[in-house]
A and B are shown apart, each in its own frame.
Chain A
């Protein structure tokens, strides 16, 4: 009797592995890589200005008491065009947005801003993706909430959509409380 039950063991194991594999195959692929730098201070950096009409960006610009957004973008990035109006909405509501332009030439950044608007208070040129690697970002666009002490509080991966605007405002308010 015990032997009869035991004979189903391999079949049950097969079923378990089958369900596991099918689950993995049909689950929607999650290719986002979360930054592990949440809660950590921004790494030290000092970038040159990406365009003539906006000041350059350094890590020290964030530790001034006010929570801000750090937006990773590039003129060659298509989703960045889609998020431009929502960044402008955030800027219109008094949010300071500091941009980091990844692997971009000044004339290309200027052209991108002329076409899609310029919500940035400062823009640093990250020609070697050093700041991007330093904060654990793996793509463009990404947006980080940085609190007034210069600590990374939140990471948004991908373009900002209409529904993300109030969410980011809330995250900025949360970052205000120490």
Chain B
């Protein structure tokens, strides 16, 4: 009777462990079995080139994980993009040309560095206009106050 209880308890615990392990193992199935691209995690030998590549990789958006840069992401596709960036820079390509190449394929979306164009100009002009209008209001009020103060003097 008591043995039966322990047997059942053991069975329940084993089942719980199996469910937990199953839950952990499942997402791993959606990963590929290929090793990372050669330059996904390997820096370029030339420190100046690597610095250029890294600066660019930090301002390119990962297509899979969407809120990380490709420098921050461990998604295999981000690794392939880092490989692409590093090999092109090693071949002497300009970082902005690589950015333009990606924007041509994925749109402005892929770049974290906003461009100034017909759609984005309010972003740049907005703060400037706000500062100017605040300055104008401040100027008028200060001048008005100066007048009343001098006017109030006997």
Contact = CB atoms under 8 A, between A and B. Distances in A.
Interface in B39-95: 63-64, 66, 76-77, 80-81, 83-84
A105 B33 contact: yes
A139 B34 contact: no
Contacts of A129: 37, 76-77, 80-81
Contacts of A105: 33-34
A36 B32 contact: no
A134 B104 CA distance: 10
Contacts of B77: 129, 132, 138
Contacts, number: 67
Interface of A is mostly: loop
B106 A130 contact: no
A103 B34 contact: yes
A14 B124 CA distance: 23
A139 B32 contact: no
Instruction: Give the interface size bracket for B toward A.
Output: 20 to 34
A103 B107 contact: no
30 contacts: A31-B66, A33-B109, A33-B110, A35-B106, A36-B104, A36-B106, A36-B107, A37-B105, A74-B32, A75-B32, A76-B30, A76-B31, A77-B30, A102-B32, A103-B32, A103-B76, A104-B32, A105-B33, A129-B80, A130-B84, A132-B77, A132-B80, A133-B80, A133-B81, A133-B102, A133-B105, A138-B63, A138-B77, A138-B106, A139-B64
Given A33-B110, A128-B37, 18 more contacts: A31-B66, A34-B107, A36-B104, A36-B105, A36-B106, A36-B107, A75-B32, A103-B80, A130-B84, A133-B81, A133-B84, A135-B105, A136-B105, A136-B106, A138-B64, A138-B77, A139-B63, A139-B64
Interface of B: 29-34, 37, 63-64, 66, 76-77, 80-81, 83-84, 102-107, 109-110
Interface of A: 31, 33-37, 74-78, 102-105, 108, 127-130, 132-136, 138-139
